[in-house]
């Protein structure tokens, strides 16, 4: 009886607490909305002529993003301010491209939204100029002429995406939230040309934004790693340079057990969709074992490609001669540095051929190969992973 009463009181207390939390949350949401409405009203009364003649600014506390909108139609800019400020973004609006370019040189923005068709300076020119001066800022084209050709034109200018007008409040909110997620994903994938030598091969986690080489692991010019197992066989896998730049791996092509291989000959391959990269054996010998668990293992950027991510084990015929020809320690770091430089240059050349004009600096990113054409993919596969030794 007493236990039953206790349970009833506990349930009542839980229900009251839940209701109170919901009421408090509604109050907080309403308070945030009132604060944003006040910020919108106050900010628009301020004078920003010293920065840009047509500038109107609305700032909120802890904005989800800072956005600059460019459109020669005041009604479109009014809609952007009202919708986005109330949704928690700080918004500046101007009516000309030159004003926008002046602002991005002195203020930080996450996004520039620019109309495609404007007099004097159109959206493509604005996008190219923004990406030249501030490659860290993402550009979105506003257009009333959404076609395949429009999309191609926008992407060639370096734009992240485009939004079609007229749009509803819900459509614009949803679009900006998706664009913000896309931006955050791209930022998370950016790679620094930094190589870290880690202690041993036991760590299952590495820094996603840097390249790593475990101490005591040998690296081949074709970006396979090799380490000696307890029984003296050489464990082989693909290194962190290959893993990060290839990105998604859909399947592995394992060598056949007991197969005899020579150093520099094909050993294993990885597939991404219909495309393939062949890796070559860093040492000669007999394949004594393949890793059956590898295909099911997590391939996230922060998971090490070393240790238990080996592909196969080779009982070497002449390890004493072949292992010293591979890179280890500082020489492995030098190999990574050289290839990171070559890869960055190649990707910039690819970007310039696809998007004539100035190219953003952030061409080194996790999964960079995924965006390449088949011909470009094959070129990279041969230049970086098709080398023996």
Using CA atoms of 47, 50, 54, 58 in order, give the dihedral in degrees to the nearest 10: -50
233 Cβ contact partners less than 8 Å away, ≥ 6 residues apart: 288, 289, 313, 314, 315, 316
**Dihedral sign (CA 353, 162, 32, 181):** negative
| Cα–chain center distance at 338 | 23
Phi, psi of 282 (to 5 degrees): -80, -20
Q: How many CB atoms lie within 10 A of CB 387?
A: 14
> What is the secondary structure of 205-249 as a DSSP string?
B--TTSEEEETT-EE-TTSEEEEE-TTSPEEEEE-HHHHHHH---
Q: How distant, in Å, are the alpha carbons of 16, 281, 309, 313 from that of 259?
A: 70, 12, 20, 11
- Buried b / exposed e over 58-87, threshold 16 CB at 10 Å, is bbbeebebbbbbbbbeeebbebbbebbbbb
**Regions of the chain where pLDDT drops below 70:** 1-50, 146-148, 150-151, 200-207, 298-302, 351-362, 389
pLDDT of residue 202: 46
pLDDT of residue 11: 60
pTM (2 d.p.) = 0.70
246 Cβ contact partners less than 8 Å away, ≥ 6 residues apart: 238, 270, 272, 277, 367, 369
pLDDT of residue 211: 94
Q: How distant, in Å, are the alpha carbons of 133, 165, 250, 377, 387 from that of 269?
A: 41, 46, 11, 14, 14
pLDDT of residue 195: 93
Q: How distant, in Å, are the alpha carbons of 50, 100, 102, 359 from that of 114?
A: 22, 9, 14, 19
Q: What domains can be seen in the chain, in order of their start residue?
A: 44-189 (3.40.50.2300), 195-335+379-385 (2.40.50.100)
Q: How distant, in Å, are the alpha carbons of 33, 41, 99, 131 from that of 219?
A: 57, 61, 52, 37
**Nearest-CA neighbor of 357 among 130, 105, 141, 186?**
130
pLDDT of residue 201: 44
pLDDT of residue 346: 85
**Dihedral sign (CA 267, 271, 274, 279):** negative
Phi, psi of 58 (to 5 degrees): -135, 115
pLDDT tens per residue across span 24-59: 666 565 666 565 566 555 555 556 666 789 999 988
166: preceding bond cis by omega (within 30 degrees): yes
pLDDT tens per residue across span 205-217: 566 788 999 988 9
pLDDT of residue 14: 57
């Amino acid at each position: 009886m007493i236990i039953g009463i206790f349970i009833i009181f506990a349930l009542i207390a839980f229900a009251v607490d839940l209701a109170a939390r919901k009421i408090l949350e509604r109050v907080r949401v309403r308070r945030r909305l009132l604060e944003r409405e006040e910020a919108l009203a106050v900010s628009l009364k301020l004078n920003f002529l010293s920065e840009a003649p047509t500038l109107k600014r609305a700032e909120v506390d802890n904005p989800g993003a800072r956005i600059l909108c460019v459109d020669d139609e005041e009604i479109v800019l009014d809609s952007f301010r009202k919708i986005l400020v109330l949704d928690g973004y700080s918004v500046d609006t101007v009516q000309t491209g030159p004003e926008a370019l002046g602002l991005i040189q002195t203020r930080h923005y996450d996004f520039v939204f620019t109309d495609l068709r404007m007099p004097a300076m159109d959206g493509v020119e604005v996008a190219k100029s923004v990406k030249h001066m501030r490659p860290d800022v993402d550009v979105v084209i506003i257009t009333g002429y959404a076609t395949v050709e429009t999309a191609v034109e926008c992407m060639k200018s370096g734009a992240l995406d485009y939004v079609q007008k007229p749009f509803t409040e819900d459509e614009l909110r949803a679009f900006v939230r998706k664009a913000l997620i896309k931006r955050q994903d791209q930022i998370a994938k950016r790679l620094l040309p930094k190589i870290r030598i880690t202690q041993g091969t036991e760590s299952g986690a590495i820094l996603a934004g840097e390249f790593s080489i475990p101490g005591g692991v040998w690296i081949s010019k074709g970006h396979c790693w090799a380490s000696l197992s307890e029984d003296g066989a050489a464990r082989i896998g693909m290194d962190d340079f290959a893993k990060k730049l290839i990105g998604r791996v859909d399947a592995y092509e394992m060598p056949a057990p007991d197969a005899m291989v020579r150093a520099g000959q094909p050993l294993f391959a990885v597939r991404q969709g219909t495309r393939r990269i062949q890796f070559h054996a860093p040492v000669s010998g007999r394949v004594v074992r393949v890793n059956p668990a590898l295909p099911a293992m997590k391939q996230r950027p922060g998971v090490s490609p070393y240790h238990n991510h080996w592909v196969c084990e080779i009982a070497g015929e002449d390890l004493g001669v072949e292992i010293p020809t591979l890179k280890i320690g500082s020489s492995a770091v030098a190999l990574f540095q050289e290839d990171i430089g070559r890869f960055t240059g190649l990707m910039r050349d690819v970007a310039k051929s696809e998007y004539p004009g100035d190219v953003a600096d952030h061409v080194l990113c996790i999964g960079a190969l995924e965006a390449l054409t088949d011909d470009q993919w094959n070129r990279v596969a041969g230049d970086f992973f098709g080398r023996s030794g």
